[in-house]
Structure 1
Amino acid sequence: MTSSIEPSLRSALSDRYEIFEECGRGGSSVVYRARELSSGRTVAIKVMRPELASRAMAERFLREIRIAGTIDHPNVARLLDSGEADGTLYCVLEFIDGETLRSRITRDGPLPVEEALRLTRDVAEALTWAHRRGIVHRDVKPENVLLSGGRAILSDFGIARAIVVAAGDRLTDSGIAVGTASYMSPEQALGSSALDARTDQYALAVCLYEMLAGDPPFAGRTSQAILARQMAEPPPRLEVARPTVPVGIIAAIERALAKVPADRFGSVEEFVRALESGTTRLVRAKRRPSWVTGAVSALALAAVAAGGWWYINRWPDPDDSRVVVFPARTGATESDPDEGLRVADAIQIAVEHTDPLRWIPAWDDLDSATRANPGLLQRTEARRLARRRGARYYLTSAATTTAGRTSITMLLHDAAGDSLVAQESLSDSTPGAPTPVAALAIRALPRLLSRMLSPDRRVDLSPLTDRSLAAVARLLEGEEAYRKARFATAFDRYRAAVAEDSLFAYAAIKGAQAASWQNRLPEAIELIRLARASEGLLPAKYRPYLRGVQAYLEGRADDAAAGFRDALSADPGWAEAAMALGDTYYHLMPSEAPLDSLAAAAFATAFSIDSTFTPPLFHLGEISARRGDAVAARGYLRRLMIGVADPAWSAQLALEVRCAERGMSAADWREVAAASTREALLV
């Protein structure tokens, strides 16, 4: 929404409202502070996106928003007026003089347990009043909870539903955001139209979790990644982040966050009652004998008496083989804002060539400001995040490119001891274009990572560091495209990496897989032949994987499945190996059953391991469509499109979803065949 809307709106409403400054904006609207001329009171005018201004959509929106206007509860920001002015839809809300819950958490971090429960109770009372009248909020989140006069007031009631009803099938195409990924229930994430009070209960539980932990339970690099975690992963254990929260409260939150609505509480009221009764249940463990409790108390008192202090350890024990990698500080430009993240991804590829080291991405744990500018990261915060992820080490870096000269400095920190373990700097002056920072980072890693291992072990990154920088740069471009399911681009980049360096076995394997997605079997087999010739240069876990890919391409289903299982045994957290095993079940039909269930389980495993890895979404959508679950299929399609997959794959899945929703007769097959024979044959 552009600022050019404001003058026309100001003019259209000038006889009733004096509009002042913008005071907030979201995916569907902009909010202005204003004064109602007739009463002199301050109000908030929420201006909807222009996409909602068609006549039919406007009528539906205003009809629904009037229903929200019937809500009259002290914990709800009242809707005072609504209408259409100069082609723009708006609604006027009571102006609440205070701050949002989001501002409070951002400023102060986790709230005291008693206060978090009190604010939850306030919001729950507002929701209960509305739910009894058949009204579902659909967008409960800290930004919509206003704090004023010691109580919580819920705003934006009915607006999310009004947008959904008004936009209908055009909602996805319009780009309007309804609901917020971190607070969406799984059924809302899948696009279900039959949402009830239990979706608000889920969002309220997420808000309470965030009030207690300081962060919502599910985060991710993209909305797609967050929604995938909402659907597939259990929430992180609250007792780890906040061990002082009574176990009864934790149990109530976990139930309200159940993936299946039927497994949640019957109502928000019931959820609140469970929270209130849970405050008396203080420990999760079985009761200890009195002498043990007394001994612990005595030790604690002795520590205090000695002038020291003690606390319950809120972090997992640090693992010496785990390193959290933060995006590099690069001074990235608008034309390439993800350069720092690309450095972190390059380090991931490098660490995959080591054993037993394990790389942990930090992106999901960063706030939006630090993601946009990694230079804002403070050492104390980096250490805290590494400790929370159970890592002994964390890695930060800074890079510059000036006048064709690329330089990078990488720092390895000990999170347990709060010290700098090692520092490594490297520069390169390649004639012509400057060296990609991500490629240079790989060159700087071996000596740095070797400091994490015992003296009798060494980090061998020669399969990457002995490759030309140009080949490594093409590999990284291929990885970025492959993860987004842009297989044609990925294949071109992997093939270019192999052309630069014919011994680049890792790039050859990935190129073969990208070629397979493009049905380019001869080229895939040739790349596998090159990879086999340099198999000795591969990390150990990639050798069974290579055998699996070769067997898959040659149609040897059982051998392929065995290879991928061996790869997963070597690394159970390997998303691509799980994806490849699913592909084997799905396409080659090994002598195991039920095949669809095995394939779906493998694809779901891949996506739960790494929710930024897009390829599993396509097959999960296909399986859902084939089973007649059109809602789930459309949810996977939506996330596939968010992931910027190849248009051909999105178009094919869209056609399958349409058939699942409306039957095979819904498609004009002559038109489909004329546009894409491939889609017509594969559906």
Structure 2
Amino acid sequence: MPDAFERLTTALADRYRVERELGSGGMATVYLAEDLKHRRQVAVKVLHPDLAAVLGSERFLREIQISAALSHPHILTLIDSGQATGFLYYVMPYVRGESLRQKLEREKQLSIDEAVRIAQQVASALDYAHRRDLIHRDIKPENILLYEGEATVADFGIALALTAAGGTRLTETGLSLGTPEYVSPEQAGGKVVDGRSDIYSLGCTLYEMLAGHPPFLGTTAQELIARHILDPVPPLRSVRPGVPDHVERVVARTLEKSPADRFATGAELSAALIRPTTARVTDQLKSIVVLPFTSLSPDPENEYFADGLTEEIITDLSKIQALRVISRTSAMKLKGTDKDLRAIGGELGVQYALEGSVRRAGNSLRVSAQLVDAGTDAHLWAEKYSGTLDDVFDIQEKLSRSIVDALKVRLSPEEDRRIAARPIDNLAAYECYHRARWEIWHWTEESLDRAQQLLEHGLAKVGDNPLLYAALGYVHVQYVNTMQSADERHLQHAEELAEKAARLDPDSSPGHVLQGLIHYKRVNLQAAAPDFRRALAAEPNDPDTLAWLAYVYAFSGRGSAARPLIEKLLQIDPLTQVTHSRAGWVELLDGWFARALECFHRMYELEPQSPWSRWSYAIALANHQRIDEACALFDSVARDRPGTFFGRHSAFLKLAMQRDRDGARKAATSELTESVRWDEQGSWLMADAYALLGESSAALEWLENAVRRGFINYPYLAKLDPHLESVRNEPRFTALMERVESEWQKFQV
């Protein structure tokens, strides 16, 4: 009679070529196989027959399928599951590295930084799953896989199936939910558990990474369980004195007997591990968030006025080097929030919060504001301002200066001049400007059209104005940059507007940003970078400028120069998709695919309906060889936005990932190719797609175009891009890389 390996090989032959056994545990045997459709290596886990009998195929397949919806950089994805000739199996990506257990057996103790990093990554995975009401129930070193410094949690699916089976029937197999060394007291006692049980198990794992052994030791399962329930946790620093105070406190809190005394979420746990580091950085600067001012007027139109006042105060404070100010885009995300100030301060890592309200009735105006210590909720300063609408700019300046005084910050003469400046002194034009800024960041053709109309209306009200000219020029660049239009006239209009803005105000920060963007789109990256640096000198906390300069550095192969900009961007603008997009591209184009995936996943979580965020996350998933998930996201964008760049490009990339040559050729319409031809990123992605399809000539043609458009990241193109592997031996590729290397070396940071 054929053995299990032979029977499995035969049963799965139409989809997988089973190569060899990788190992066997208490629940399943793992085999290395090749996914014949996608030409990738996978791990096939086959349940032991006694466990399969207890679970039953229907329950197993139903419960494990729930985990297929989990899509997170630090959760091992479920690719497939099924039954075949008596086998119950599920399929996951093959991780080439090792388990945390294997690493601990070799090294016993990990460095503090590495242990904390792994714990944070696992906490991030748990936080994601718990928000979807999925509990793992068996977090332990064996279920944490490591590859190139990144941790991935395995076996979420089997935990769900085992839970559904129930404890009584499960004991028939000699198995139980949880592992005695890592099980929480409530799980060991057979009580109902929630995500805090996983937090406890992660605490045991972190303890072991640092101490070299779990917190409780024993010779039998019963002894271990009793110690989890009854014994105090041995102090971590009694075993390893070098563990920092805050890490020991975090571990102790995760291991509290009562779930109510532990961290409530993985996000809280992760934040507690990093907060002292963050504090050391940010304590050098006083930090503040200006919360959206509440409109007390019945007219909904006055919401825009209150938002505009909020943004102007943020703009004033952002001009001060000695302050770290949460950006307007992140601050506006907190509009209407029911979070208390302490929670907001902790989430953003700021010391102070400014709250306020605006009452506008006819021509009269009343503004109230109060400064609060975000850590203690103590009120530090409060003031009321009254006047007419004509006084709004005076009130804004008085309010900004009062905050500076309350925070005991000393202004330089240049900072004093900038706060006193009135870039727009007409109320109607002022409101047009703020509405337009909000529209720009929606990144759709419709929103850009609305922004253009608003800014043109503002200019009609006020006449020549450098800020409005720069903003309108920015809109024209964005039509091209977001690939909504390939019309050359947009860049021509932007150049004309940049010249007008420069004549009126040569030192304008928005003017420098616009000039940098024009140089960037005109493929002069070496000129673009100094423009962005000049803009940062005038407004050091401007997130838009930080993002653009980081982007230029990333596509020029200067990831080390981009990273400090991204770190600052994450400090001042953590709640917007643009920030995490830029962070993702910096990581991806530096070859850190797992880190990039985490950034793009955060972007997707912030704006799950945004076609841009879904498209970006799908690209990162594809780079991480998670093809099925990438294709599902591409498909959703193609369905939702069929006539747009994102829709067309997503449809094409999906077919390319599926190796569907005929379908991809049909999807590469003239509208798509014309929109991406003027963009270095779009052209590079077309090159990747054609390389996957095995069409070397088309791939190299698009890659040459990407280089002409400014993609000079030599390390990434020459060595790191996984999709270009099929063309790297082509003489045409070699010649192109010689040119790229030369341009890359010339680029000055």
Q: Calculate the TM-score normalised by the size of structure 1.
A: 0.47
Q: Calculate the TM-score normalised by the size of structure 2.
A: 0.43
Higher normalized helix content (fraction of residues): 2
